[in-house]
Each structure stands twice: as C-alpha cells, then as structure tokens.
Structure 1
Amino acid sequence: MPMDLKVGDIVELKKQHPCGNKTFLILRTGADFRIKCIACERQLWIERANLEKRIKKVTSKKD
C-alpha cells in the first residue's frame, strides 16, 4: 500500500542531496513525485516506489 504523502509535506531522505541537505518539500504527487530541496531549491522528479524507499521520516505533515 502506498504511503500517504501530500503536496506540502516535508520529508527527510536517507541519502543527502549533493548540496548536503536531506530535507525535501513535496510539490506534486502521483505515479511520479516532484520534490524540492529545502536548501538549494533545486527540483527533481522521482518515481513513487523509489521515493518511498528513500524516505527516512516525514518531518511535517500538511493537514
């Protein structure tokens, strides 16, 4: 069953972005996710299955 992730949630990933940050903001959901690095604001597309494996914890949930 897929994780309950919504636009506006902040997630912490297991591996860091090349800029050194681990926290990302979810901008788009679906089969593919668009996430934005909180530190350098670079956006990237990632498949749902790949993102769910990489998530360490959901820091902030949008209600």
Structure 2
Amino acid sequence: MERKSFQLGDIVQMKKNHPCGSNEMEIIRMGMDIRIKCVGCKHSVLVPRAKFEKNMRKVLRSAAALQETEQQPPEQTD
C-alpha cells in the first residue's frame, strides 16, 4: 500500500466530518503526533500519526502550491 504524503500547511480531507460539519483540516504541527486545525471553526486537535494516516483521505490543497500562487505577482493589464 502506498504511503500518503503530506506536509506542514497542507489542507487535507478527513474520512469523518468535524462536529461543525467541515471535513477539511489544515496540518499545523507534525511529529509523532499531528496537530490539525478545522478550516470551518478553527478548532485544533492533536491526533497520533498512525490514526491521522488512517483517517486522511487526500490532500486537497498543498502548502507548496499555495506558496507558489502567493509569490506570483498579479498580472497587470494596460
């Protein structure tokens, strides 16, 4: 089975919804445990890495992709 790849700052989709109704979480700390923050209500939860990897479905928005779009200057039209 392929290991799921994720990094700090990614927005991930979880299998179960948070009680607020959102299933999108932002990774804000990584280590043996992973701290995730709900995108909907901003509540943070500390989850063991094994449980996080089991319950994560996919990466919705990568932190690297978000940084690339922020660094590009806006196009100017004359």
- Is TM (by shorter chain) over 0.5? yes
Identity rate, percent: 40
Q: Is the 8 A contact 1:10 1:60 kept in 2?
A: yes
Larger RCO of the pair (alpha carbons < 8 Å, separation 6+): 1
Runs of 5+ consecutive residues of structure 1 not aligned to the other structure: none
3-state SS of 1:27 partner: strand
1:32 aligns with 2:52: no
Q: Matched residues in 1 for 2:38 and 2:50: separation?
A: 19
- Highest Rg: 1 or 2? 2
The residue aligned with 1:44 is 45
Q: Matched residues in 1 for 2:4 and 2:58: separation?
A: 11
The residue aligned with 1:22 is 23
The residue aligned with 2:7 is 6
The count of residues paired between Structure 1 and Structure 2 equals 63
Greater fraction of residues in helix? 2
* 1:4 Cα deviation after fit: 2.8
1:55 aligns with 2:53: no
